[in-house]
């Protein structure tokens, strides 16, 4: 127990898009002892928390309060009094309808020091992501943020309907979905034209963003039809009409598509960030895990004997990683490879090798074992000793063909792929409830392991409305052998190629 009181940081966590967190907020989450968050703060932000930080969910979804405001307050005070620094994450900005002011006053009254880190408020960001600037010189000279939560039967209301109705301000209502009918009714009753444009933006700035537009007259019906519920921002005023011209976020090629990534988690980030940038909602359900081989002896032996080899051939980024990990673990470094020539399959493998200061001598035109063979036919390979560190149970075509060309090939296992079933329940439940648009397969083992996760289920039925996307012909063949006909096959057998093919597919669907 320490005498020092911790600091409570009241942090604006932004509206949902994790990229809209401020740098200062990120630094605070990284160093906090306790992170307290509610349902509006994106769970991605918790990844920044230190591994031994306490993470506490305090809920608060309109009505369903996991912890009451009083209990939240007590919690903040208690933790600070224990000497812990607390990051209190609040959706959007803490001082814009976030009760941040009350929390600060309460901390003050308990003698707990606090700091406020403003955030990007949903009141501006949700409209912005819907292509609606809250001010525009041609349309309005001011903007109001208004609570839409106030009980319409309340006697001494602070709502100034006549002011809102008569001004040309952009009106932005928060917490107003349930009260939409009343808001519209009051504005019209106080003289606002019934053809004034209005929009609702739900889960703004996230892949789930949904926008409904209309006029004061039509909106209630449209919102009902679209089944739009909270949390949403309501924007009223002529700026709303600019959306027709300025919409951008939901126009991105993969907007709203829910895409499953089956790659091993350690390798998925590149694909995930490429798809997310195009608007997709990525669901990571790795079907494989990459692990070091059970028996490292043959890899170690080949490294001990490295001076006897002429060529080192890598067929994957993992092969490069595990080869060098083992080399370094053995207390050696790249200087023992100076006499070798190198070949890589695929530009990404080549790049990974480059990270170790080595340029590949051969890069095949396309990225299949067959093209490596074409590339080798240009160089003198007869009687040369070739080391091929790669996955256990890899295809045999490459060593066979190199042997036919007169090379003496040693294959060693550098890593193994294992079935990862952690996400199995989630996968089945998402498929059963039709919440998946597409599944990506980046290797044969992702397909076969994916299928074994679905085991006893009726896979044809589960995958009926799902677009399957394969990285290339070999992966597609494996899929076919398991009775899945890929709807998409990448033209270029790379992650970029796979992404391009997904874009082309959805483009042609429009
Ligand atoms: N402090 C927050 C607002 C909290 S009040 C901020 O600055 O954004 C809660 C209301 O915020 C919700 O009812 C909804 O109207 C709005 N809201 C928060 N996040 C939102 C989002 N991503 N999209 C649309 N509305 C959102």
Residue 127 contacts residue 174 (beta carbons within 8 Å): no
The yes-or-no verdict on residue 364 having pLDDT over 80 is no
* β pairing state of 170-174 and 232-236: antiparallel
Residue 389 contacts residue 323 (beta carbons within 8 Å): yes
Q: And the tokens for 301?
A: 């032996």
Contact 204 CB / ligand 1 (< 6 Å): yes
Contact 96 CB / ligand 1 (< 6 Å): yes
- As annotated, the active-site residues are 38, 60, 175
The yes-or-no verdict on residue 158 having pLDDT over 90 is no
The yes-or-no verdict on residue 62 having pLDDT over 80 is no
Residue 161 contacts residue 190 (beta carbons within 8 Å): yes
- Local confidence band at 63 (pLDDT 50, 70, 90 cut-offs): low
- Local confidence band at 195 (pLDDT 50, 70, 90 cut-offs): very high
Contact 381 CB / ligand 1 (< 6 Å): no
Q: What is the mean pLDDT of the chain?
A: 92
Enumerate the CATH 3.40.50.10090 domain ranges in the chain, comma separated. Answer: 258-287+420-508, 295-415
* Rounded CA separation 423/134 (Å): 41
pLDDT tens digits, one per residue of 272-284 = 999 999 999 999 9
Residue 123 contacts residue 232 (beta carbons within 8 Å): no
Contacting residues for 71 by C-beta, under 8 A, at least 6 apart: 58
Q: Does domain 295-415 have CATH number 3.40.50.10090?
A: yes
Contact 172 CB / ligand 1 (< 6 Å): no
Q: Please tell me the CATH code under which domain 258-287+420-508 is placed.
A: 3.40.50.10090
Enumerate the CATH 3.30.950.10 domain ranges in the chain, comma separated. Answer: 124-250
Residue 14 contacts residue 92 (beta carbons within 8 Å): yes
Greatest Cα pair distance in the chain: 95
Question: Is the bond into 231 cis (omega within 30 degrees of 0)?
Answer: yes
Q: And the tokens for 97?
A: 């309808």
- Taking residues 55-79, report their average pLDDT: 81
- Taking residues 389-411, report their average pLDDT: 88
The yes-or-no verdict on residue 439 having pLDDT over 80 is yes
Identify the top-confidence range among 139-153, 223-237, 383-397, 443-457.
Answer: 223-237
Distance in Å, CA 282 to ligand 1 centroid: 23
Distance in Å, CA 409 to ligand 1 centroid: 62
Three-state secondary-structure class, residue 205: coil
What is the chain's Cα-based Rg? 29
Q: Ligand 1 pocket: which of 62, 97, 234 to mutate (most atoms <8 Å of CB)?
A: 97
* The CATH homologous superfamily of the domain defined by 8-120: Tetrapyrrole methylase, N-terminal domain (3.40.1010.10)
Enumerate the CATH 3.40.1010.10 domain ranges in the chain, comma separated. Answer: 8-120
- Local confidence band at 367 (pLDDT 50, 70, 90 cut-offs): low
pTM of the model: 0.79
Distance in Å, CA 169 to ligand 1 centroid: 20
* CA neighbor of 349 nearest in space, from 312, 315, 376: 315
Contact 348 CB / ligand 1 (< 6 Å): no
| Architecture of domain 124-250 in this structure | 2-Layer Sandwich (3.30)
Residue 302 contacts residue 412 (beta carbons within 8 Å): yes
């Amino acid at each position: 127990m320490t005498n020092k009181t911790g600091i409570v940081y009241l942090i604006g966590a932004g509206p949902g898009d994790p990229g809209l967190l401020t740098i200062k907020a990120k630094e605070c989450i990284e160093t906090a002892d306790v992170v307290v968050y509610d349902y509006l703060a994106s769970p991605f932000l918790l990844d920044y928390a230190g591994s031994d930080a306490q993470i506490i969910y305090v809920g608060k979804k309109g009505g369903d309060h996991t912890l009451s405001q009083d209990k939240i307050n007590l919690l903040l005070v208690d933790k600070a009094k224990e000497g812990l620094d607390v990051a209190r994450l609040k959706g959007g900005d803490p001082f814009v309808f976030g009760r941040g002011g009350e929390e600060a006053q309460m901390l003050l009254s308990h003698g707990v020091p606090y700091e406020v880190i403003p955030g990007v408020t949903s009141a501006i960001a949700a409209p912005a992501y819907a292509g609606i600037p809250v001010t525009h010189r041609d349309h309005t000279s001011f903007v109001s943020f208004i609570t839409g939560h106030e009980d319409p039967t309340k006697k001494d209301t602070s709502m100034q309907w006549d002011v809102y109705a008569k001004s040309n301000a952009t009106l932005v209502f928060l917490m107003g979905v349930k009260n939409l009918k009343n808001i519209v009714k009051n504005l019209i009753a106080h003289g606002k034209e019934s053809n004034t444009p209005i929009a609702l933006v739900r889960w703004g700035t996230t892949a789930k963003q949904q926008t409904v537009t209309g006029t004061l007259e039509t909106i209630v019906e449209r919102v009902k039809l679209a089944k739009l519920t909270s949390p949403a921002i309501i924007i009223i005023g002529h700026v709303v009409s600019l959306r027709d011209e300025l919409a951008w976020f939901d126009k991105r090629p993969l907007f709203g598509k829910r895409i499953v990534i089956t790659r091993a988690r350690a390798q998925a980030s590149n694909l995930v960030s490429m798809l997310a940038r195009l608007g997709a909602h990525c669901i990571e359900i790795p079907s494989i895990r990459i692990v070091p081989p059970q028996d490292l002896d043959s890899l170690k032996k080949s490294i001990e004997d490295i001076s006897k080899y002429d060529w080192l051939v890598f067929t994957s980024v993992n092969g490069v990683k595990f080869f060098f990990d083992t080399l370094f673990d053995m207390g050696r470094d790249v200087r023992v490879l100076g006499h070798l020539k190198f070949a890589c399959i695929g530009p990404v493998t080549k790049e990974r090798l480059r990270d170790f200061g080595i340029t590949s001598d051969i890069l095949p035109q396309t990225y299949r074992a067959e093209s490596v063979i074409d590339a080798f036919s240009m160089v003198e390979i007869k009687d040369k000793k070739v080391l091929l560190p790669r996955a256990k149970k890899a295809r045999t075509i490459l060593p066979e063909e190199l042997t036919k060309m007169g090379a003496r090939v040693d294959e060693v296992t550098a890593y193994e792929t294992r079935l990862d079933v952690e996400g199995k329940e989630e996968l089945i439940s998402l498929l059963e409830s039709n919440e998946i648009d597409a599944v990506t397969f980046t290797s044969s083992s992702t397909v076969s392991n994916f299928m074994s996760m679905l085991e006893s289920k009726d896979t044809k039925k589960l995958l009926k409305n799902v677009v399957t996307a394969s990285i290339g012909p070999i992966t597609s063949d494996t899929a076919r052998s398991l009775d899945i006909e890929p709807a998409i096959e990448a033209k270029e057998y790379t992650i970029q190629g796979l992404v391009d093919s997904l874009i082309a597919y959805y483009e042609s669907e429009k």
